[in-house]
Amino acid sequence: MTSLHAHPAAPPENSGGQNATVPVAKDALRVAIIGNPNTGKTTLFNALTGLRQRVGNFAGVTVERVEGTFKGHDGKRVVLLDLPGSYSLSAGSPDERIALEVLLGRDQDRWRPDVVLVVVDAVHLERNLFLASQVLELGIPVVIALNQYDMAESEGIRIDIPALIHEVGVPIVPTVAMRGEGIDPLKRAIAIAATLPAPARQFALPEIADVALGPLAECLIGDGFAPVAAHMEALRLLGVEHPEAHVARVPCIEGSIHRAAESLRTAGFVPGRFEAEVRYGWIAQVMSRTVTRRVNALLTLSDRIDAVALHRVWGPLVFLLLMVVVFQAVFSWATPLMDSIETFIGVAGRTIGGLLPPGDLQSLVVDGMFAGVGSVLVFLPQIAILFAFIGILEHSGYMARAAFLMDRVMRRVGLHGKSFIPMLSGYACAVPGIMATRTIEDPKDRLATIMVVPLMSCSARLPVYTLLIGAFVPSTSVLPGVTLQGVTMLIMYLLGTLVALAVAAIFRKTLLKGPVRPMILELPPYRWPSLKSLAVSVMQRCQLFLRRAGTVILSLSILLWALATYPKSTTDPSLSVAAQQEQQLANSVLGRIGHAIEPVVRPLGYDWKIGVSIVSSFAAREVFVSTMSTIYGVGDTSENAQALQTRLVEEMNPVTGQPVYTPLVAVGLMVFYVFALMCISTVAVTVREAGGGRIGWGWAALQFGYMLVLAYGAAWMVYAGGRALGYGG
């Protein structure tokens, strides 16, 4: 048990491998930085610490912990800990729980700050002051950074800072973290704050409430809470459904909360809303004394755009139109760049292959490495274009509108509006998407979202879609500037999204039954996206893709080449070279595995080569393309991605003499990839985020299983249904 009076804090105890606590000199000042999401907290953290940062995890959990250091105004070393963004200390989500535990000195590291730096968004001062008012009652000196001060001014918000300091009772420094403005005064304020007494609650509770909450506060003080923090906790616990871990084990807690709530109810208050009412009551007074506004032209423009973008009918149409433009651009704009990369890889492969003597080494380099990695690398321009568009939609403020439009749909299927962001992240990659569910408070909402995020078409599926669409879907124009290829791509993305919503609805009505909670969403004003930040996000995505191609895809391509090449078998010399290669491939390990699984994939219209490519892509989806490239490339040094598409179109079944790949098979295959969970990393992150251990593995197995059944069933329905309708195949 740690007394909150312990000041200065005890040195950190390294509780095992995971944390990243910077060794703190005894005289170093510990500062925790906290703020609402989107207040520029991390930008301010970076502005203060520069590159002197260390990233790890909070002990015992996987919430990222970032610590940095800087030299304080008085020359003293300052250690700054970045706490997860939180709207309040109500500890609804796992991230908020960590913030509260650190501030109360009850996290596993026992890292108790000497000063808390609260980052407040000057544009949304009213909402941000809620968290600040809670932090003021923790018994720790506080400094407030009034960030994005320039934006507040440009939006006509005038804040009387001396008056605000007077009202709140702590140093307040206006900052513009993006431009590094106000950083020096902020450092000075932190040094001064450490010498000041800790602030206290700035408003008085009704007397009856004081009396009702007294025994609850006493119960907490008895467990080692500092008196000031205990009163904050008592007020906070009234609005919490179940006490969190750090207070749940206090023996008198349940009874004390119950009695306090009863007393308040008798006095005519609603206990669940009491804290919000008293805090917002105080905030309203502060705002009326310190802030003035004038109507702003920019807001009016945003409002005018929103009249269309959020319209009941026009809104979804605008959204759909934007999506059509995005996917069409992914297809048509990328082509010239893809052709250049393809030519370059082809030339490089042939040149390097030419330097090597004919034999297995040459085949490994040309058919394994260059064909395997090259076939995936050509999709880099498409990845860049897709993420440039996603970036523009995010930075311009449109994504928040899309979330608003989707909230209606989300709630209909029983998901929380906050589920939209993890699902949107799933378009990039399911791993960050699943990790983004940490912002969802309700465990059932969170788990339902985790279960469906991998159904969103991630960037690893893009190469598979592009290969098959490019080969089998004609580029006929369906609308001016829109081709059937672009529309097919959009349909694949929509299919994944719609099925994700349907599956979520099933989970919320069965295994994960529970009430639907409303979402409060902040709509930022529209703004021009910054080219620099757009470029950075696209570059980061491209780097990830390249790193993956150079490591995982390369290694798997080499292994697949070995499986497709060995053991060597004697072939019939009377056959053509192509037939001999086919015979060798069929006798290889890969060929034998393929033939063994052929009966399973045959009902879907697939031959053994598709079957083995699907099996190999269980490690990573893009490997489907590289396996295809390796299978069709072994022994042929002139292959490249374009030729792969041609090879697929020309591939004939040796028994029937019919094409192996018909448009029906190709569509079925794409549908299979829309639904199948073929990614080891996603399985691992689901295990972890669903609770780890047996429970985590159980949910991951369920996720993998239902997606596989869905993929197989849907691909079969496409193939069998298409044939029944006379589409051939």
Partner 1 sequence: MLADAPLATEVSAMLQTLVVASIVFLAAVFVARRVVQSLRKAKAKAPGGCDCGGQ
We find the least distance from the C-beta atom of residue 561 to partner 1, in angstroms, to be 8
Closest C-alpha to 437, from 128, 680, 95, 60: 95
Taking the C-alpha atoms of residue 697 and residue 588, their distance in angstroms, rounded to an integer, is: 34
Indicate which single residue of 82, 114, 622, 689 sits in contact with partner 1 (rule: CB under 8 A).
689
Residues with Cβ within 8 Å of 428's Cβ and at least 6 positions away in sequence, in order, are 387, 390, 458, 459, 541
If one asks whether residue 360 binds partner 1 (CB under 8 A), the answer comes out as yes
Binding mask 424-453 for partner 1 (x = CB under 8 A): --------------x----xx-xx--x---
What are the residues facing 36 on neighbouring strands? Answer: none
Residue whose token pair is 């703004």: 527
Contact flag: residue 248 with partner 1 (CB under 8 A): no
C-alpha to C-alpha distance for 15 and 357, rounded to whole angstroms: 56
Closer of 74 and 360 to partner 1 (Cβ): 360
Whichever of 20 and 334 has its CB closer to partner 1, that residue is 20
Q: Using CA atoms, how far apart are residues 436 and 424, in angstroms rounded to an integer? A: 10
The partner residues of 482 in beta bridges, in order of sequence, read 479
Stretch that binds partner 1, among 173-181, 511-519, 575-583, 657-665 (CB under 8 A): 511-519
**Is 357 near partner 1 (CB under 8 A)?**
yes
Find the distance separating the first CA and the last CA of the chain, reported in whole Å: 70
In the bound state with partner 1, the residue whose beta carbon lies nearer, of 73 and 688, is: 688
Answer for which of 300, 533, 540, 555 binds partner 1 (CB under 8 A) is: 555
Q: Which two tokens stand for residue 692?
A: 């780890």
Give backbone dihedrals phi and psi of 122, rounded to 5 degrees, phi first: -60, -25
Other beta carbons within 10 angstroms of residue 1's beta carbon come to 5
Residues ≥6 apart with Cβ < 8 Å to 235: 205, 213, 274, 275, 278
Q: Which of 340, 533, 551, 658 binds partner 1 (CB under 8 A)?
A: 551
Q: Is 698 one of the binding residues for partner 1 (CB under 8 A)? A: yes
Q: Is 66 in the site for partner 1 (CB under 8 A)?
A: no
Binding mask 559-578 for partner 1 (x = CB under 8 A): x--x----------------
Task: Report yes or no: 402 and 369 within 8 Å, Cβ to Cβ.
Answer: no
**Cβ closer to partner 1: 447 or 468?**
447
Measure CA 376 to chain center: 23
Is 408 or 513 the residue whose CB approaches partner 1 more closely?
513
56 is a contact residue toward partner 1 (CB under 8 A):
no
What is the residue type of 42?
Answer: T
Element (H, E) at 426: none
Q: Which positions ≥6 away from 72 have C-beta within 8 Å?
A: 29, 78, 187, 190, 191
Contact status: 691 vs partner 1 (CB under 8 A): yes
Among 299, 511, 536, 596, which residue interacts with partner 1 (rule: CB under 8 A)? 511
353 is a site residue for partner 1 (CB under 8 A):
no
Residues 173 to 192 in contact with partner 1, rule: CB under 8 A: none
Give the binding-site size for partner 1 (rule: CB under 8 A). Answer: 53
Interface residue with partner 1 among 267, 299, 684, 701 (CB under 8 A) is 684
Q: Which stretch binds partner 1 (CB under 8 A): 253-261, 326-334, 459-467, 698-706?
A: 698-706
Is residue 329 at the binding interface for partner 1, with CB under 8 A as the rule? no
Residue 197, token pair as written in the block: 């007494």
Structure tokens at 681: 């990393």
**Strand, helix or coil at 661?**
coil
Residues that bind partner 1 (CB under 8 A): 18, 57-58, 60-63, 94-95, 97-98, 357, 359-361, 364, 438, 443-444, 446-447, 450, 511-513, 551-552, 554-556, 558-559, 562, 619, 680-681, 683-685, 687-700
